Chains A and B, each alone.
Chain A
Amino acid sequence: MSMTQQAAPAVDTPPAPEPKETDGRTSQRSLALRLLARPEVGVFLGAVAVYIFFLISAPPVRDGSSMANILYQSSTLGIVTIPVALLMIGGEFDLSAGVGVITSALTASMISYQLTMNVWIGVLVALIVSLAVGFLNGWLVVKTGLPSFLITLGMFLTLQGVNLAVTKLVTGNVATDDISDMDGFAQAQNIFASSFDIGGVQVKITVFYWLVFAALATWVLLRTKYGNWIFAVGGNKDSARAVGVPVAFTKISLFMLVGVGAWFVGMHQLFSFNTVQSGEGVGIELIYISAAVIGGCLLTGGAGSAIGPVFGAFMFGLVQQGIVYAGWNPDWFKAFLGVMLLGAVLINQWVRRTATRR
């Protein structure tokens, strides 16, 4: 993206000769190869390949409204995937994000309903709860030095139980009450769960937020000091600390950002479906993490982007819905999903290897 200044000399290089570059440094490689070496380009090509595949095998995918539907599915995953990816670049990951979405939605719904408050109060309290969960995750990881796998697995199980037990205790049921007739609902629905018309196609507002958040995260990663800190703490915590990066602050704030993402999608779910079932959200955390990994974020931290995970989430939405658009035998659904994702990751990896060889 930011490398156009070196494009001119590179264009002269023939595309695929067997060159005698003994010293294969970046300055000598073509723009195309350098682009291919970027993590988000590999996944972009993978997504394009899968998209073309579905364009051919599933005629409805060619419609604008189908694309809007695929993008909607991708955006509800993608909005959480972005902070999850940043956290992963920062060297940690979060297994509690999926149920965290539901925790947030349940909190907002129950606070508003049980206290008969304007729903915005519930929305605000839910944000505080989500930030607190993120803070606790981060604080425990920093304080104990235990792997975030263990800490957030504990949080995942805790939230799963709390979601159920508290909902049952407060509402007497395992789902929340309908809040769609309460003050502020329509307004909140406009913000979190409306759709707008683009050329006759109804596009969900979450798609818009998803792209804005991705752009914002990209800017933060590449252009701010905080972005440097994220790469630094994910690359090598100790040397980052040695050069004055506030490691604890960076990690804890990243966990809190995941909380914000979970809150946002939680609010979307609440204002789009009016009630929330307390058992939802289990297993979705793995989709966030996979989308980030497919998008080029290393499980070990220190490398990745915010754009790659956008394509990662898009790939999930595309495959999940594409199989339905193609009208394939649904017994094979999960198997299709797995094989296509594996295929996409392999293409992605192959592209990057080819590009970074020499």
Chain B
Amino acid sequence: MDRSSRFHSRGVAPVVALAAAAALTLAGCSSSSGGKKSEEGEAGASAGKATTPRMTVALVTHQSPGDTFWDIVRKGAEAAAAKDNIKLIYSADPNAGNQANLVQNAIDQKVDGIAITLAKPDALKGVVAKAKSANIPVVGLNSGVSDWQKLGLMEFFGQDETVAGEALGKRLNESGAKNAVCVIQEQGNIGLTQRCDGVKKTFSGKLQTLFVDGKDMPSVKSTITAKLSQDKSIDYVVTLGAPFALTAVQSLSDAGSKAKVATFDLNKDLTSAIEQGTIQFAVDQQPYLQGYLAIDSLWLYKNNGNYSGGGEQPVLTGPAFVDKSNVDAVAKFAAKGTR
């Protein structure tokens, strides 16, 4: 005991000293370029605020922590909630059983509406039925375009992943690609698999799939490099998330490959890569729109009884292509982290 506490004071002192030294030198070490100072302070989309009575809505997704895509969905939902005088309860868990528990939690809180993603529809069947019997309207977003009706959801906002994949496949044909590789960053994720399957359906060249470990970026880079050296005739790399597209560009230069890169989903670094021409195009399913519409729809239903798609058709938010011709219009929104 005595020994360790003595060590404690000995160990902390240099750390404190270092921190103090760092703080002192901060003033003289400002960066003359980039950084926060160069960023413009713009507010997000705002459309005033409704005077309708306060309501509470839960958004429960299958997001895994720290994913840029889901962050955009959530921002859209928050923007709608702020406008509609809604208290938004956001929760997420990639494990379907846990996601179902979170929905149950929302039902127990007696919320006025629930928006959910259906990455694993079967696991959520039970809680959706419970929400209905508790008279809580449930809408779907993002995942589950083929299942939302079966589960009795009121409406659905999202992209049909297979349709998006098909659109991308056609685009590859136009570009004259012959041998493409579809890079999946999370093995066993249905939505990602459907995208690659969609591409395969319409693409007239050869399409291979490649699994990478999305939690380890150096590994993603090495694995794409390895694939490009294994098959030198690959002329297009298709990634399923923006960060992976940016890494694929580095793999190309490592492997000395002349292949091109296209991707699903956007973020702000990706828009500048499209501007510079290092990435050809992105399929944008507009996650902000998905979050926004799902929350807004629950407000509309409560206050005016409307439901989009009439309970028969989903509301599609994609596929919207972003390429060099329209990237400028998108880039300023992407810079704020909302596109």
List chain A positions with a Cβ less than 8 A from chain B: 58, 60, 63, 65-66, 69-70, 72-73, 76, 112-121, 124-125, 128, 131-132, 135, 139, 142-143, 160-161, 163-164, 167-168, 172-175, 177-184, 202, 246-249, 252, 268-269, 272-275, 277-284, 317, 320-321, 324-327, 330, 333-334
Q: Is the CB of B223 within 8 A of A128?
A: no
The 0/1 profile, CB within 8 Å of A marked 1, for residues 182-203 of chain B is 0010010000000000000000
Q: Is the CB of B222 within 8 A of A317?
A: yes
Q: Is the CB of A280 within 8 A of B215?
A: yes
Q: Does B45 contact A (CB under 8 A)?
A: no
Q: Is the CB of A277 within 8 A of B243?
A: yes
Summed over the interface, the residue pairs from A and B with CB atoms below 8 Å come to a total of 192
Give the complex CA separation of A279 and B247 in angstroms: 16
List chain B positions with a Cβ less than 8 A from chain A: 3-4, 7-8, 11-12, 15, 18-19, 22, 25-26, 29-39, 64-68, 70-71, 184, 187, 209-211, 213-219, 221-223, 225-227, 229-231, 243, 246-247, 250, 254-256, 267-269, 337
Q: Is the CB of A173 within 8 A of B68?
A: yes
Report which residue of A119, A163, A333 has the largest number of chain B beta carbons within 10 angstroms of its beta carbon: A333
Q: Is the CB of A116 within 8 A of B30?
A: yes
Interface of B is mostly: helix
> Can you identify 27 A-B contacts, CB atoms within 8 angstroms?
A60-B230, A65-B255, A66-B229, A113-B36, A117-B26, A119-B31, A121-B25, A121-B26, A121-B29, A124-B22, A135-B11, A135-B12, A139-B4, A139-B11, A177-B36, A183-B30, A183-B33, A272-B218, A273-B246, A275-B243, A275-B269, A279-B66, A279-B67, A281-B216, A283-B213, A325-B226, A327-B230
Which B residues are in CB contact (< 8 Å) with A124?
A: 18, 22
Which A residues are in CB contact (< 8 Å) with B222?
A: 69-70, 72-73, 317, 320-321
Which B residues are in CB contact (< 8 Å) with A334?
A: 187
Interface of A is mostly: helix
Give the complex CA separation of A114 and B34 in angstroms: 10
Point out the residue from B11, B223, B226, B247 that lies within 8 Å of A66, measured CB to CB: B226
Q: Is the CB of B217 within 8 A of A278?
A: no
Give the complex CA separation of A132 and B19 in angstroms: 11
Give the complex CA separation of A283 and B65 in angstroms: 13
Which A residues are in CB contact (< 8 Å) with B66?
A: 163-164, 167, 174-175, 277-280
Q: Is the CB of A115 within 8 A of B36?
A: yes
Give the complex CA separation of A180 and B15 in angstroms: 28
Q: Is the CB of A282 within 8 A of B229?
A: no
9 smallest A-B Cβ distances: which pairs?
A: A279-B66, A116-B35, A278-B66, A73-B222, A182-B34, A181-B34, A183-B31, A76-B218, A324-B226
Point out the residue from B4, B30, B68, B225 that lies within 8 Å of A142, measured CB to CB: B4
